Amino acid sequence: AVCSMGNSTSRLYSVLAKTLSSGAVSQHQNCLEQLDSAQLDPIDPKDLLEECQIVLQKRPPRFQRNFVNLKKNTASNHRPIRVMQWNILAQALGEGKDNFVQCPMEALKWEERKCLILEEILAYKPDILCLQEVDHYFDTFEPLLSRLGYQCTFFPKPWSPCLDVERNNGPDGCALFFLKERFELVSSANIRLTAMKLKTNQVAIAQTLKCHETGRLFCIAVTHLKARTGWERFRSAQGCDLLQNLKNITQGAKIPLIVCGDFNAEPTEEVYREFSNSSLNLNSAYKLLSPDGQSEPPYTTWKIRPSGECRHTLDYIWYSQHALNVNSALGLLTEEQIGPNRLPSFNYPSDHLSLVCDFSFNQDPDRLL
């Protein structure tokens, strides 16, 4: 059943309503073949946000999060590039496999949770959006975000666990979106990560973009590494493979790089050290929120499962520190905001927090290599 949208007769009603009920992924792909999103009218983001808020009117209001200004005294005459990283929680996993014992099933209804996800994206207006655990790409995110001006790319996992869930919506995977008015796609690579010379179930997307305003090239990548304790060496091997691919794509760091991902790894893990010590000269943007600029946040995911409470730092935005500056970063939710039942909840749609950073280009990147 489609949620009541109040008295609104907005032209968006049919667009949003079509995405509210889930079915087989083949149905969505057939729908896409019949309806090319690029040929549809653009959507005003304010109108879409209003439609989402009508659907969510019985839920608590969005949490307020503030950006922390990190800008040094470096002159920049171009608009910053806002990048958003988020594991949005696959719908099939949230309802069928993840066992969030303190989260009511009512809070996980796709009809409303989808609108919470869109509301978060619309609130922060990213120029580039990197998502993991996307299993509603074809029926929700591609149709809507393409009409908001984004170019959209999706790369599903070869053996997605979503497919084991009854009434699933197809495989989950990584998705990358960028605003066409700001960037031009130069090259794109879908990468199936290897470990110990074996192809794995984890993937990445890496795209080289040209900034219209500055003419500068940069590479943006999104990934989601293997989950669970006991797989540390496996994640390390996947990270090495991804770094090697990115070295080739960026010509050994000549092209600035931003890597977003759910690494499923705490900062104590080997894969984190590999990224920190890479010849690509990467730094983790969210370290800059700490007083010394050297410590990751205390958590980026916080949930309660039958085995107990899980509070970890697993999500990162890495960047070429010789070529890019972090102007600001979005502060995390506090423990008080998250609440005793943790995530997801009626307030927040995922078990992972979104990370958002504003970047600018250094004027003389080669000098710092």
Structure confidence by residue, pLDDT tens digits, 316-332: 999 999 999 999 999 99
Token pair listed for 321: 């520190």
Q: What is the pTM of this model?
A: 0.91
Instruction: List, in order, residues 6 or more apart from 283 with CB less than 8 Å away.
Output: 276, 318, 319, 321
In the beta sheet, which residues pair with residue 223?
Answer: 204, 261
The total domain count for the chain is 1
Would you call 111 exposed, middle or buried from its count of C-beta atoms within 10 A (0-12, 13-18, 19+)? middle
d(CA 61, CA 324) in angstroms, rounded, equals: 35
Residue 127 lies in a domain: yes
Specify burial of residue 181 (Cβ count, 10 A radius: 0-12, 13-18, 19+).
Answer: exposed
Q: Is there a contact between 156 and 203 (Cβ–Cβ < 8 Å)?
A: yes
CA–CA gap between residue 217 and residue 281 (Å, rounded): 17
| Tokens matching residue 74 | 């470096």
Q: CA-CA distance, 260 to 246, in Å (whole number)?
A: 13
Q: Is the pLDDT of residue 303 over 90?
A: yes
H/E run at residue 136: none
Residue 28 belongs to a domain: no
Let me know if residue 316 belongs to a domain: yes
Domain containing residue 215: 82-363
Token pair, residue 106, equals 């009512």
**188, part of any domain:** yes
Integer Cα distance of 199 and 153 in angstroms: 21
| Unique residue bearing structure tokens 């700490």 | 290
Q: What is the pLDDT of residue 5?
A: 38
User: Residue 17: CA atoms inside 13 Å, Cβ hemisphere, count?
Assistant: 13
Q: Locate tokens 């309503």: which residue?
A: 17
pLDDT digits (tens, 9 = 90+) for 273-292: 999 999 999 999 999 999 99
Range in 3-7, 22-26, 37-41, 201-205 the model is least confident about:
3-7
Average of pLDDT values for 252-260? 96
Domain at 169, CATH number: 3.60.10.10
Residue 101 lies in a domain: yes
List pLDDT tens digits, range 134-145.
999 999 999 999
Amino acid letter for position 298: P
117 within a domain of the structure (yes/no): yes
User: Looking at the domain assignment, is residue 53 inside a domain?
Assistant: no
In a domain, 109, yes or no: yes
